[in-house]
Amino acid sequence: MKPLLEVRALTIDVPKGEGWMRVVDGVDFSIGAGERVALVGESGSGKSMTARALMRLDDALRIGGAIRFAGEEVLGCTEAEMRALRGSGIGMVFQDPMASLDPFMRVGDQVAEVLRIRGVGRAEAHARAVAILAELGVRDAASRSGAYPHEFSGGMRQRVVLAMALVAGPKLLVADEPTTALDARIQQQVLDLIDDAAADRGLGVLLITHNLGIVAGFADRVLVMYSGRIVEEGPVEQIFAAPAHPYTRGLIAAVPRADMRVDRLPPIDGAPPSPARRPSGCAFHPRCPVRLPVCVMTAPQLRPSGGGSVACHLAAAEEAMA
Amino acid sequence: MTGLAVTDLCKSYPAAGGGRREVLKGVSLRIDKGECVGLIGESGSGKSTLIRCALGLEKPDSGRVDYEGSFVHEATGPDLLLFRREVQIVFQDPFASLNPRMTVEELVGEGLLVHRIEPSRARRRACVAELLGRVGLEADAMHRYPRAFSGGQRQRIAIARALAVSPRILVCDEPVSALDVSVQAQVINLLADMRSALGLGILFVAHDIGVVRYLCDSVLVLAEGRVVEEGPTETVFGDPQHDYTRALMAAAPVPDPAEAKARRALRRQQREAARGSEP
């Protein structure tokens, strides 16, 4: 069976001065129908750029490679075809709900508008907007759909944004740091909402986050991105139980645990590199506690490892020995 | 009496629809030198108001704040200066808290100048170099501006700036929540080191239970302007008594797929049961 979304050799360049700067450098992944995939990375890793490229939200980006959604080549779509794809094919939720909402428009109208521009009549669009707001836990949705965004709390706004993303019946939901600015309890509620909505509709989900902690309970598969490349990919159980890349190991060890006492929290030294100054060879080598001489010279390729794959010279050497 | 003590603090603000909204309803806490106290609270719990009152930036309706035996809100002259010097703060967002037009040398050395600790420019520069080394930055960082640094490095600069005037108490308001996970641990460990090396008292305000459990000796849980639970960190989080503390613990992400998925399935069952029971 063909996957729902297939990304091959994706490169993204952003304009910089006279030329271009590469922020995503050859990324491959796919998402099956109904599958939950987490894309984990730090600031500057290219994870949000990848999400924006899927929807072609940014005309200023130069995108290379292939993005196939439901068999169709996204990069070959006209702008009119893209408008149809956004919303009915791929729905998207961003970190800051206030930035996705029009402060001068009633929330019900904002959800209904997604349907109106697809030719749905006013009354039906409004009824469907109210129904989906109610499903997403907005109480008294009929009356509260007349409220403005500023009258809603952060968690409630995120529900409105989720309603907008889902109302046109997409097959894939892309959620870019949907819970980062929220308190833990609201964060869990929003993730549970996405969980229910995705399960009820059989949606595929791409969850983009810097926090490995929230991934464990949500994702089927994890992609770990570092400095524009995927450095490890695998089933969530394997990523947590037997991470093969030193960066993945470091990320897992660096999460302070609420449920047990930890004596030492080992940090990852240094800082994530800016795309403008990507290190030679393996981009992680300056921060890597187990780097080999070869890591400074050549970038490792992603190779199969267990049920997933990893791009690490040491992991490859250890596998060859075993 | 040593350290910073907040006693029975109440604070209210005018509410939108008339009347007043009580933000703090009788909060007490105490930080002794060398001790690290965690304060857990969600947005709206009153933690920011508590910090502003404890730093003397805002006058409470009732209750008091003492530092070294004197009332902070009545302090004037040398007492107030001493308080301003010995109690320092590190803010959440190092992109907003550091003046972008000042060099790192000016930022870190400002307190030494303002408090007339080191009027000589050459000696100030030597102090700044030493402070930068202490927080893990190269001395030549002092010639650059904040924009040249990553989030974690900026937070180190903010810590060096606070440490410059030899404080006794450091109030940290969500100091790592804007940082990448890989860098969070660096800053937390730096705070832990500074505390043991300098005997600093730390009030560590956060919403992340994991960070507080790792760093703090004792913890207070603030909800709707009241402390609902307090005690040694391991007692509180090892066996939480208050429902609110339990709810916060249950909502904290668990980095263990089997456990996290079991919890998720349980929550889903509960939601479905709740849905089914609705009329």
| Tens of pLDDT, residues A130-155 | 999 999 989 999 999 999 999 998 88
Establish if A82 belongs to a structural domain.
Answer: yes
Establish if A11 belongs to a structural domain.
Answer: yes
Kindly state whether residues B128 and B95 are assigned to the same domain: yes
Q: Is B189 on the interface with A (CB under 8 A)?
A: yes
CATH number at residue A45: 3.40.50.300
Predicted-complex ipTM score:
0.84
Residues of chain A with pLDDT > 90: what percent? 70
Q: Taking 60 as the threshold, does the pLDDT of residue B1 lie above it?
A: no
Kindly state whether residues B254 and B236 are assigned to the same domain: no
Between helix A154-166 and helix A107-116 the angle, nearest 10°, is 10
Pull the structure tokens for residue A138.
Answer: 């907005």
Kindly state whether residues B179 and B248 are assigned to the same domain: no
Rounded distance between C-alpha atoms, residue A212 and residue A251, angstroms: 7
Kindly state whether residues B206 and B270 are assigned to the same domain: no
Q: Is B183 on the interface with A (CB under 8 A)?
A: yes
Chain B residues closer than 8 Å to A266 by CB: 185
Q: Taking 60 as the threshold, does the pLDDT of residue A205 lie above it?
A: yes
Size of interface A-B (CB pairs under 8 A): 137
Tell me which residue in B151, B255, B263 faces A255 most closely, judged by beta carbons: B255
pLDDT band at A64 (very low <50, low <70, confident <90, very high): very high
pLDDT band at B278 (very low <50, low <70, confident <90, very high): low
Task: Indicate the number of domains in chain A.
Answer: 1
Kindly state whether residues B35 and B137 are assigned to the same domain: yes
- The domain in which residue A300 lies consists of 5-89+171-183+204-321
Establish if A291 belongs to a structural domain.
Answer: yes
Rounded distance between C-alpha atoms, residue A266 and residue A210, angstroms: 17
Tell me what the pLDDT averaged over chain B comes to. 91
Chain B residues closer than 8 Å to A183 by CB: 42-43, 207
- The domain in which residue B255 lies consists of 242-279
pLDDT at site B277: 66
pLDDT band at A279 (very low <50, low <70, confident <90, very high): very high
Rounded distance between C-alpha atoms, residue B154 and residue B148, angstroms: 9
For the entire predicted model, the pTM comes to 0.89
Kindly state whether residues B248 and B236 are assigned to the same domain: no
The residue of chain B nearest to residue A239, with distances taken between CA atoms, is B257
Chain A residues closer than 8 Å to B253 by CB: 184, 187-188, 211, 213-214, 216-217, 258
Establish if A129 belongs to a structural domain.
Answer: no
Kindly state whether residues B105 and B164 are assigned to the same domain: yes
Interface test with A, best of B180, B190, B191, B214 (most A CBs within 10 A): B180
Judged by DSSP in three states, B82 sits in helix
Kindly state whether residues B90 and B203 are assigned to the same domain: yes
Kindly state whether residues B38 and B53 are assigned to the same domain: yes
Q: Do B214 and A42 make contact, defined as CB atoms within 8 angstroms?
A: no
Establish if A160 belongs to a structural domain.
Answer: no
Kindly state whether residues B150 and B251 are assigned to the same domain: no
Establish if A73 belongs to a structural domain.
Answer: yes
Residue whose token pair is 């190991």: A249
Q: Do B253 and A154 make contact, defined as CB atoms within 8 angstroms?
A: no
* pLDDT tens track for A253-270: 988 888 888 888 898 988
pLDDT at site A1: 63
- Which run of H or of E encompasses A172? strand A172-176
Q: If you average pLDDT over residues B103-130, what whole number do you get?
A: 93
Q: Do A256 and B249 make contact, defined as CB atoms within 8 angstroms?
A: no
Establish if A94 belongs to a structural domain.
Answer: no
Kindly state whether residues B236 and B252 are assigned to the same domain: no
Chain A contact residues (CB < 8 Å to B): 42-43, 154, 183-185, 187-188, 192, 195-196, 210-214, 216-218, 236-237, 240-241, 250-252, 254-259, 261-262, 265-269, 271-272
Q: Taking 80 as the threshold, does the pLDDT of residue B240 lie above it?
A: yes
* pLDDT tens track for A296-311: 999 999 999 989 999 9
Task: Indicate the number of domains in chain B.
Answer: 2
Burial class (CB in 10 A: 0-12, 13-18, 19+), A288: buried
Tell me which residue in B189, B208, B254 faces A216 most closely, judged by beta carbons: B254
Kindly state whether residues B124 and B62 are assigned to the same domain: yes
Residue whose token pair is 């929290």: A265
Judged by DSSP in three states, B47 sits in helix
Establish if A164 belongs to a structural domain.
Answer: no
Chain A residues closer than 8 Å to B267 by CB: 188, 192
CATH number at residue B56: 3.40.50.300
Burial class (CB in 10 A: 0-12, 13-18, 19+), A73: exposed
pLDDT at site A148: 95
